């Protein structure tokens, strides 16, 4: 399973070809994301893609532990530099949660919170609007699809906090970007994103 290697974008974490230092990619320079930094443990291809698919779509929830350990191995140094105060998983809409039976971001965030000794806030964010599956949409449609889809019910829990936002896959970043904007509007001072896998699109 290929890890995400350097050099990469110092903001969104997309890997670059060749050698050199990390630096912002053209997309992040043109359209600054809502989050401050994002990194992923694996590339969303080959064995990494198969592992995520088995976990998420074939109900092999026991894979959350090896996935989390891969993230700990690849991302612990990065996370330590971000000095987060708490972990927040990307929420699912209640309708999708009922049909799937679990929120993959919560299952991944639980062992990460234990490994990194951080409080986990499972219900800090809510998905307040049903959205189409992002996998069906292009980049522009993804952004529109999640706009206004998230809320923080108790802003006092995030005011002045440094948040570590967890999800399974970073594709275009639309979902975590919207979540980060909502968290910052609620008072968070810094939002770092980590995902298990990064799609290069």
Residues 191 and 178 sit within 8 Å (Cβ to Cβ): no
At residue 144 the predicted structure's pLDDT band, cuts being 50, 70 and 90, is confident
- DSSP code, position 168: E
170 to 101, 111, 155, 160: CA distances (angstroms): 22, 19, 25, 26
Query: What span, in angstroms and rounded, lies between the C-alpha atoms of 139 and 156?
Result: 33
Question: Per residue in 9-57, pLDDT tens?
Answer: 999 999 998 888 999 999 999 999 999 999 999 999 999 899 999 998 8
Is the pLDDT at 177 greater than 80? The verdict is yes
145 to 65, 87, 88, 129, 130: CA distances (angstroms): 31, 24, 21, 10, 9
Query: What span, in angstroms and rounded, lies between the C-alpha atoms of 178 and 146?
Result: 7
Query: What span, in angstroms and rounded, lies between the C-alpha atoms of 164 and 192?
Result: 5
Percentage of the chain modeled with pLDDT above 70 = 97
Of the candidate ranges 2-6, 39-43, 106-110, the one whose mean pLDDT is the lowest: 2-6
Bridge-based pairing of strands 125-127 and 150-152 is antiparallel
Is the pLDDT at 3 greater than 90? The verdict is no
Residues 34 and 74 sit within 8 Å (Cβ to Cβ): no
Question: Per residue in 75-84, pLDDT tens?
Answer: 999 999 999 9
The pLDDT of residue 129 is 84
> Mind listing the domains of the chain with CATH numbers?
26-198 (3.40.50)
Number of H helices, E strands in the chain: 7, 6
Q: Which residue, 112, 72, 115, is CA-closest to 88?
A: 112
19 to 27, 116, 139, 199: CA distances (angstroms): 19, 31, 28, 20
């Amino acid at each position: 399973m290929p890890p995400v290697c350097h050099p990469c974008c110092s903001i969104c974490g997309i890997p670059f070809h060749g050698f050199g230092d990390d630096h912002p990619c053209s997309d992040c320079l043109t359209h600054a994301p809502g989050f401050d930094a994002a990194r992923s443990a694996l590339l969303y291809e080959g064995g990494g893609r198969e592992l995520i698919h088995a976990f998420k779509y074939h109900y092999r929830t026991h894979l959350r532990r090896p996935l989390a350990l891969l993230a700990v191995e690849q991302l612990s140094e990065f996370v330590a530099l971000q000095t987060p105060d708490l972990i927040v998983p990307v929420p699912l809409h209640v309708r999708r949660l009922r049909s799937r039976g679990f929120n993959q971001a919560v299952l991944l965030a639980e062992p990460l919170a234990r490994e990194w000794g951080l409080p986990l806030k499972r219900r800090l964010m809510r998905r307040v609007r049903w959205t189409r599956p992002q996998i069906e949409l292009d980049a522009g449609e993804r952004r529109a699809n999640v706009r206004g889809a998230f809320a923080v019910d108790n802003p006092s829990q995030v005011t002045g906090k440094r948040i570590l936002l967890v999800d399974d896959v970073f594709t275009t970043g639309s979902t975590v970007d919207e979540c980060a904007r909502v968290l910052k509007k609620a008072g968070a001072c810094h939002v770092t994103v980590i995902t298990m896998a990064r799609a290069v699109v």
